[in-house]
């Protein structure tokens, strides 16, 4: 199992307390070498063929049945078709090694690969080329987003997913649902330029998401309720919807979340907290070291989000939130400034801290800051606590010092559409300017 060691900038197994917001160890309890030594179940021995025609679903299910109590299921290099989906129910101390490419050929909804109620699990590619090609464009071109998610892990613990590539999901790409002690890293996710094609959605306890690149037009890496002890770092939102929390609903319960080293290019926002009515809380969260270029919104708290229907309740209570060290620029600061804090009038935000935010518009020569019913320190926030207040705005007409920020060499020149196949990328060497991944990229 693994810890986040930020002093060394690397991975180490430590006997003492963890750093960041994690509450303990994450990842599988036993190594792949141990699992493989016990048993190996190669799908080719169960009827699979790397001919991009034979359905991989039944052989994969059979291989899992043979290795679910301890062992490694192997999908070797090659191209495989998948017409029927596989649910990996239960299992303990097993791994799924995907070194080939799985091409979706089935049309059902649900989840292509669904890992549920498992313990001590690892899904990975040993060569860094393992991928799932969802061919979502075939459905998207017809106006449909009702197809399958590529990979869902649910009600599982002590696991990791890494060194994989997920492409063009008919619906979502990667979902961690009600999981504990999980980790995802060294991944590239590439989807169509359309809402509803989420990159990474997570809710659970003690989850570490790091070194992941996402291209799509919806969630980059998003935390949903209920969640606590979540650490998200070294994230590359490369022409995406951007990172977010929400949509927040009734009885929201999110705490101890840390976003760190987030690079966002040509996205809807750098970070959005979105709700409309509802109840519950989001507290004790930090958003630090954000770099943005060419995005619409930057820091966007919107508790009147018009894309969701208003829910019962006075609003989700936001408190003890820190935003620090944000650099770069936004597409048009006069239209969408670097700070928009629109808190619920019936549940004003408290203890919101914005420090060392230095961003400047990439169009024109002015930008606006807007705050409503938000209390704390920095920019247009009011100090202390109090009642609701109407939105107040201020205009900045000179570029702040220190706003310049590095760019990434893999920034896309254009988005991927929804009517043609999206190519399978390679894993990038870095996911945040000047920062190496915590673990070596497989195959590098």
Q: Per-residue pLDDT tens for 411-429? A: 999 999 999 999 999 999 9
Residue 438 included in any domain: no
Residue 255 included in any domain: yes
Cα–Cα separations (whole angstroms), residue 61 to 74, 121, 156, 282: 12, 16, 18, 40
Claim to verify: residue 70 and residue 208 sit in the same structural domain: yes
The pLDDT confidence band at residue 66, using thresholds 50, 70 and 90, is very high
Taking all residues of the chain, what is their mean pLDDT, rounded to a whole number? 95
Residue 391 included in any domain: yes
Claim to verify: residue 270 and residue 179 sit in the same structural domain: no
Residue 78 included in any domain: yes
CATH of the domain at 372: 2.160.20.10
Claim to verify: residue 83 and residue 190 sit in the same structural domain: yes
The reported pLDDT for the residue numbered 4 is: 59
The reported pLDDT for the residue numbered 251 is: 98
Q: What is the pTM of this model?
A: 0.95
Residue 421 included in any domain: no
Containing domain of residue 316, as a range?
241-405
The pLDDT confidence band at residue 3, using thresholds 50, 70 and 90, is low
Contact 197, 191 (CB under 8 A): yes
| Cα 335 to Cα 241: distance, rounded to the nearest angstrom | 18
Q: Which residues are catalytic?
A: 218, 293
Q: In the chain, how many domains are there?
A: 2
The reported pLDDT for the residue numbered 20 is: 55
Of 165, 155, 172, 201, the C-alpha closest to 112 is: 172
Claim to verify: residue 249 and residue 189 sit in the same structural domain: no
Claim to verify: residue 101 and residue 209 sit in the same structural domain: yes
Going by the DSSP 8-state scheme, the letter that residue 406 receives in this structure is: -
The reported pLDDT for the residue numbered 83 is: 98
Going by the DSSP 8-state scheme, the letter that residue 240 receives in this structure is: S
Query: How would DSSP label each residue in 293-342?
Result: EEES-SEEEETB-TTSPPPSSS-PEEEEEEEEEEEEEES-TTTS-SEEEE
Q: Which of 19-28, 52-61, 95-104 shows the lowest per-residue confidence on average (mean pLDDT)? A: 19-28
Q: Per-residue pLDDT tens for 279-294? A: 999 999 999 999 999 9
Residue 84 included in any domain: yes
pLDDT higher than 50, residue 186: yes
The reported pLDDT for the residue numbered 2 is: 74
| Cα 144 to Cα 138: distance, rounded to the nearest angstrom | 9
Residue 417 included in any domain: no
Q: In sequence order, what are the residues at sequence separation of 6 or more whose Cβ sits closer than 8 angstroms to the Cβ of residue 293? A: 264, 265, 266, 328, 329, 362, 405, 407, 411
Q: Which residues pair with 361 in a beta bridge?
A: 330
Contact 76, 44 (CB under 8 A): yes
Q: Per-residue pLDDT tens for 324-375? A: 999 999 999 999 999 999 999 999 999 999 999 999 999 999 999 999 999 9
Residue 171 included in any domain: yes
- Residue 268: other Cβ atoms inside 10 A: 22
Q: Which residues of 370-387 are buried (b: 16+ CB within 10 A; e: fewer)?
A: bbbbbbbebbbbbeeeee
pLDDT higher than 50, residue 129: yes
């Amino acid at each position: 199992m693994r810890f986040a060691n930020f002093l060394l900038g690397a991975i180490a197994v430590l006997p003492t307390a963890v750093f960041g917001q994690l509450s303990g160890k994450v990842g599988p309890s036993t190594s792949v070498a141990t699992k493989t030594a016990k048993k190996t179940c190669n799908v080719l021995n169960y009827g699979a063929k790397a001919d991009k025609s034979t359905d991989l679903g039944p052989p994969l299910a059979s291989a899992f049945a043979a290795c679910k109590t301890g062992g490694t299921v192997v999908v070797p290099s090659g191209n495989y078709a998948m017409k029927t989906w596989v649910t990996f129910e239960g299992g303990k101390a097993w791994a799924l090694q995907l070194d080939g490419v799985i091409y979706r050929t089935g049309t059902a909804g649900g989840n292509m690969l669904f890992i549920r109620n498992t313990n001590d699990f690892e899904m990975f590619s040993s060569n860094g080329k393992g991928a799932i090609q969802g061919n979502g464009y075939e459905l998207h071109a017809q106006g449909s987003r009702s197809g399958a998610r590529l990979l869902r892990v649910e009600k599982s613990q002590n696991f990791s997913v890494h060194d994989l590539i997920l492409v063009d999901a008919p619906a979502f790409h990667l979902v961690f649902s009600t999981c504990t002690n999980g980790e995802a890293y060294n991944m590239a996710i590439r989807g169509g330029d359309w809402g509803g094609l989420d990159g990474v959605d997570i809710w659970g306890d003690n989850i570490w998401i790091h070194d992941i690149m996402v291209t799509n037009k919806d969630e980059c890496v998003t935390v949903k309720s209920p969640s606590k002890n979540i650490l998200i770092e070294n994230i590359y939102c490369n022409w995406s919807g951007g990172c977010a929390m929400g949509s927040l609903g009734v009885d929201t319960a999110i705490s101890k979340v840390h976003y760190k080293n987030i690079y966002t290019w040509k996205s809807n926002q750098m970070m959005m907290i979105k709700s409309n009515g509802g109840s519950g809380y989001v507290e004790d969260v930090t958003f630090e070291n954000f770099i943005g270029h060419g995005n619409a919104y930057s820091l966007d708290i919107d508790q009147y989000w018009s894309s969701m229907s208003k829910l019962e309740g006075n609003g989700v209570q936001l408190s003890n939130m820190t935003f620090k060290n944000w650099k770069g620029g936004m597409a048009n600061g006069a239209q969408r400034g670097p700070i928009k804090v629109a808190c619920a009038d019936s549940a004003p935000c408290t203890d919101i801290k914005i420090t060392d935010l230095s961003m400047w518009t990439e169009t024109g020569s002015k930008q606006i800051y807007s705050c409503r019913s938000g209390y704390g320190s920095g920019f247009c926030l009011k100090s202390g606590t109090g009642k609701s207040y109407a939105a107040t705005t201020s205009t900045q007409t000179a570029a702040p010092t220190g706003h310049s920020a590095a760019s990434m060499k893999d920034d896309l020149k254009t988005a991927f559409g929804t009517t043609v196949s999206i190519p399978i990328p390679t894993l990038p060497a870095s996911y945040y300017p000047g920062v190496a991944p915590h673990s070596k990229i497989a195959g590098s």
